[in-house]
Chains A and B, each alone.
Chain A
Amino acid sequence: NAGVTQTPKFQVLKTGQSMTLQCAQDMNHNSMYWYRQDPGMGLRLIYYSASEGTTDKGEVPNGYNVSRLNKREFSLRLESAAPSQTSVYFCASSEALGANYGYTFGSGTRLTVV
């Protein structure tokens, strides 16, 4: 099925370790996003890429870096993981800014930092 694919689905890291979360979409969408979801906080935007070749900070970018590898792929990197980064991470995509286009989300990556 067409959609947004995230890998891995689960990950446990030790404090200070690094890792990259991968995201790919096959809907030819221009824009891609990384959100984190925490209990009581809702979903918050970490970084987004409006189009291939551009990236911008969202609400909570500290401790993260992103790469828009091509139109399909958008990765999120934790350089030195901290317990505060324990969360569920969602990648999403959308067709640019059209009012009749919504967001499509992946199934998430559950990350635990110990």
Chain B
Amino acid sequence: KQEVTQIPAALSVPEGENLVLNCSFTDSAIYNLQWFRQDPGKGLTSLLLIQSSQREQTSGRLNASLDKSSGRSTLYIAASQPGDSATYLCAVRPRGYSGAGSYQLTFGKGTKLSVIP
């Protein structure tokens, strides 16, 4: 069974610092991996999606990498801002029996980020 782990569970950094959030998964047979942001009391907002054939994706100050062989993904946030404070979730879409993506995402429990002004 696929398991997704995010360490640390919480992280506090001063404004302006560059930071890395980690995500690890136990089964490398994945279809894609998606990073989400969740603000308190809100839904999930998709940040980046990396297909299994890709190594990284970038959007603005965010860069996500994927190393399938080691079962790891990282989300790099450059020049952090107080508005980046949120919980960041990593979700893996396993590869199904037919080779296509499974319908069931497996989520990590998230890293709660606080950026201190």
Binds B, one of A11-19, A75-83, A97-105: A97-105
Question: B103–A50 contact, CB under 8 A?
Answer: yes
C-alpha spacing A90/B32, complex, angstroms: 21
How big is the B interface, by class? 20 to 34
Q: Which residue of A lies closest to B95 (CB)?
A: A99
Instruction: Report which residue of A48, A58, A100, A110 has the largest number of chain B beta carbons within 10 angstroms of its beta carbon.
Output: A100
B41-82 residues at the A interface, CB under 8 angstroms: 41-46, 49, 51-53
Given contacts A90-B44, A97-B100, contact A103 B109 (CB under 8 A): no
| Bound complex: CA A107 to CA B43 (Å) | 4
How many residue pairs link A and B with beta carbons under 8 A? The number is: 59
Which residues does chain B contribute within 8 Å of A106, judged by CB atoms?
Answer: 43
Q: In whole Å, how far is A97's beta carbon from the nearest beta carbon of chain B?
A: 4
The digit string for B78-102, where 1 denotes a CB below 8 A from any CB of A, is 0000000000010100001000110
Q: How large is the interface on A (under 10, 10 to 19, 20 to 34, 35 or more residues)?
A: 20 to 34
Q: Is A56 an interface residue (CB 8 A)?
A: yes
**A105 & B44 in contact (Cβ 8 Å cutoff):** yes
Q: How far is the CA of A86 from the CA of B36 in the complex (A)?
A: 23
A45 to B94, CA, bound (A): 14
The reply to whether the CB of B107 lies closer than 8 angstroms to some CB of chain A is yes
Kindly provide the distance from the CB of A99 to the nearest chain B CB, expressed in whole angstroms.
Answer: 5
Please tell me if A25 contacts chain B, counting CB pairs below 8 Å: no
List the B side residues contacting A42 at CB < 8 Å.
Answer: 107-110
Cβ of A30 to closest chain B Cβ, rounded Å: 11
**Are A102's CB and B43's CB within 8 A?**
no
Contacting pair B103 A56 (CB below 8 A): yes
User: Separation in Å of the B73 CB from the closest CB of chain A?
Assistant: 14
With contacts A45-B105, A90-B43 known, what are 4 further pairs, Cβ within 8 A? A43-B89, A92-B44, A101-B49, A103-B46
Instruction: Report 14 cross-chain contacts, Cβ distance below 8 Å, ordered by A residue.
Output: A59-B104, A92-B44, A97-B31, A97-B101, A97-B103, A99-B32, A102-B46, A102-B49, A104-B46, A106-B43, A107-B42, A107-B43, A108-B43, A110-B41
